Chain A
Amino acid sequence: MTITRRPFETDAAAEELAFVGKSPARIDGLEKVSGAARYVDDFDFGPDLLFAEIVESPHAHALIKRIDTAKAEAVPGVVKVVTGADFPFGFGLYMKDRYVFAQHRVRFVGEQVAAVVARDEGAAKRAAKLVEVEYEVLKPVFDPVFAATDDAPLLHPDLADYPHVPWFFPHEGTNIAHWRKTRKGDVEEGFAEADLVLEDTYEVPRYAHCAIEPHVVVSLYDRAGRLTMWSASQSPYTQRHVIAEALAPLGLTHQQIRVITPYVGGGFGGKAGVSMEIMGAALATAVQGHPVKLRFSREQEFYNTYQRQGLKARIKVGVKSDGTILAVEHTMHWDAGAYVEYGANVVNAAGLSASGPYRVPNIKIDALCVYTNLPPGGPYRGFGYSEFNFGLESHMDRIARRLGMDPVAFRRKNAIVEGDTLAYGEKMNPSGLLECIDKVAAAIDWGTKETSDDRHKVVGKGFALMWKAPAMPPNASSSSFLKFNEDGSINVTVSGMELGQGYLTVMAQIVAEVLSVPPEKIRIETPDTDRNPYEWQTVASHVTWGCGQAVEAAAIEAREKIFEVVHRVHGFEEDSLFLRNEAVHCATDPDFELPLRDFVIAGLETDDGSYRGGPIVGSGMFMPEFTSARSDPETSQGGHPNVHYTVGAAGVVLEIDRQTGKMHIRKTALAVDAGKAINPDLVIGQIVGGLVQGLATVLYEDMRWGEDGRLLNPTFTDYKIPTSLDIPEEIVAIIVEVPQPDGPFGARGVGEHTMIPAAPMIANAVEDALGIRITSMPVTAEKVALSLWEGEA
């Protein structure tokens, strides 16, 4: 829906905003620093709580020949042992290719084959080890390029039968679950006209989200047949929907499922959609009347929740000698893992946007979502853009250097601006990309060479752009309820999740601005699908923009009711009324002031002693009605798949020890176009936190796999995420504000974007400092040192 603003309000908003654009304290702060904040595992469920343990496949690819649960069932304390035979149900968000428990075949090491439910965790763990499973081991495939060929073992013979969204194009009889093709202009003509064509390949490994709170779900299928789930999730409604679809054969309906999501201890995409929670739901139905807890260990957190997908990309770019980009060809083989029900949409998003934030007349993108025998890929902050941007922004830097152009000047020359035609034919939205480039270049003193007093150390500078659009179905929607209390305070319900980004505070600021009630008097409840209205998911960096519009609409509806009742009792024209400092004022009567707390519940008394009005409530909804996922499958032309792009730039001053390869970040700067920073301090929090998370993927982290497909480093001991000692010396956070016309107060999302430019800017700084180009992530000290030695040998 479109929100209509009164003319005077638009003017007033431009001139003076009381709460938007300020940085009030987070409304969840007191709870979180005092220990009062409750996460799923902090709730008590009483003496009849049961504990579940999963039996996992030791093989990357095998057929299940036989399962014997007798010994496990005999363990004292065991209540129930279930296998795939008990729940022969498929599920999935965008493609139903996944199973509650494995059906006849396992496709990755760690896949759930059976589960034990017991009265205590020890009994469940002991019994799980006693479930005997006989396998016929099959040949696995791990490389996505080989997996896409006809010689590879076929992982999903039933691919053609899986229901999926209409914008996926599976290739029956292959491991290609989805192939997004985007074509604009004619790349061959572009390359023919080019003065320089550069082609190379880039590799990106898999990564883990590493939210500090592991996945946990407590499910109760009560004796009245209602299923209640307390879930550490980014997606309460999507969980309810996917679980209702999958478990419909058991008689469960949306109405009979309730998902409650209290504070969540970090998500980063890993707690989006449905992963282990579907097991919790199924197990609850097997032990009716008892709540059952399924909590993943840190190891399981690494190998059996979504992972960021691996990527092998071939990039070919043609340019004129003056630096004008003529053509970009980007072929991506995505290692999507054993099941792609969510991950295929990551591939889809990349397939629409992998030409980057550039004005490119000729584009050919092929994004292949390929099944492999590794754990299911899925959403991770950046949603495909972090992955392809490593190769693309490395490549753009190399092109500029080959042309003898300054890499920043090259980017500036080709940077996409409002009105340029996107790869799929739509026009680019308003964008502050040039301002981002200039501010970052100034922040790191681009163009000035830095040195080190240590003769073993050299200093390089690196630069990278980024962009990202929310990847959402065209009907991804948000809604909100709002009610006043007797003291003029407000309760708002939404079903977006406070993942840490500060969403609740931002929603409160939007309500505050419309209703003139300060954020500290606004309480926003975390989701409960029985009570809070619908939200698609808290993903895609869309909730400030999308749910923000729903919340704004709810506040405006409440305001209309306030003005209507004041008009009825006091006679002022509604257009003359406005809110300020928690009171109704009138433009035509400066003396009139009516505090909200006097009537938002009690109503207004009239001359005869009767009352008008009643409890003021509001509701709002939002759906991006202008989008459509329908387009030509051979070109992606004709649809409107993305609502808008958020853009930005980042740069780094990197000191490298030539002897060890060890890198030290002297300074890094990131600018993002937030449209309007509703809470600037929270945007800065996203810049600093996201940049450090992005730097971790290039400097420290990667998943290592054995030849048998087993994850070798599923702990924080061996998978090194940054500690407080592993951060840049200085981070410059820059907010650019070119308003998004349809965003609340001009805002657009920034949450994921801040990690997207980190990896290529490091690789570019390494080349600047040492003249060596590393084309595979991560760019570790070891890799830098080895490259140097090879060069010297």
Chain B
Amino acid sequence: MKLPITMTVNGETWPLDVEPNDVLLDVIRTRVGAKGAKIGCERGDCGTCTVLFDGRSIRSCLMLAVEADGHEIITVEGIPENGVLSNLQDLFISHNSFQCGFCAPGIVLGAHELLRDNPNPSRHDVQHALAGNLCRCTGYEPIIDAVLAAAEEARS
């Protein structure tokens, strides 16, 4: 039994027919084609499937697609404005805040949310905000440094 839904992904409207048990992550990846959200654990542990859902970061592997009906989704592909990377993304490059890159989309989204809500985060605030996004390569230090640098640049 297919159910009609309409969601917005990165500003584009997507009317879709989905099964009641279709997972949002799979629909975003295979039907919409936004591949920035990754499959890492399928149980909400690793955060590599992070998307912004009406502006809040969520684990899209733990949400059904039907729950996204009428809602707005942002993936990492939707972060740049007019094709220009956010300052945070630039700082991720200059700080080597990724290695394999697999966790980077989810962490960029989590950090984006943090900086929007808290322009003056402490080091611990950053660590706490990203504690649900696992990275096995970097040891997190360069990620935290980049987020703090982005906050500082936004303030000055």
Contacts and interface: CB of A to CB of B under 8 A. Distances in A.
Nearest to B95: A681
B43 A265 contact: no
Interface in A20-50: 25-26, 28-35, 37-39, 41-42, 44
Nearest to B26: A121
Given A298-B40, A725-B127, A25 B93 contact: yes
B58 interface: no
Contact of A692 (B33, B101, B104, B139): B139
Nearest to B45: A716
Contacts of B33: 44
A499 interface: yes
Given A41-B39, A212-B100, A298-B41, A716 B136 contact: no
Contacts of A211: 100, 102, 136
A53 to B, nearest CB: 14
A724 B127 contact: yes
A685 interface: yes
B100 A499 contact: yes
A25 B93 CA distance: 7
B80 A500 contact: no
Contacts of B96: 26, 502, 681-682, 685
A38 B35 contact: yes
A716 B134 contact: yes
B145 to A, nearest CB: 10
Contacts of B140: 692, 722-724, 727
A724 B99 contact: no
Q: Identify which of A28, A211, A500, A502 gathers the most chain B CB atoms within 10 Å of its CB.
A: A500
Contacts of A29: 92-93, 98
Nearest to B89: A33
Contact of B36 (A35, A265, A692): A35
B38 A685 contact: no
Q: Identify which of B35, B77, B108, B136 gathers the most chain A CB atoms within 10 Å of its CB.
A: B136
Interface string A462-505: 00000000000000000000000000000000000001111000
B128 interface: yes
B40 A724 contact: no
Contacts, number: 160
A723 B77 contact: no
B85 interface: yes
Interface string B112-135: 000000000000001110111111
Contacts of A263: 100-101
B139 A214 contact: no
Q: Identify which of B75, B97, B139, B141 gathers the most chain A CB atoms within 10 Å of its CB.
A: B139
A466 B93 CA distance: 31
Contact of B139 (A25, A30, A731): A731
A39 B102 contact: yes
Nearest to B130: A724
B148 interface: no
Nearest to A687: B139
A693 B140 CA distance: 11
Nearest to A43: B35
Interface of B: 29-30, 33-36, 38-43, 45-46, 48, 75-77, 80, 85, 89, 92-94, 96-105, 108, 126-128, 130-144
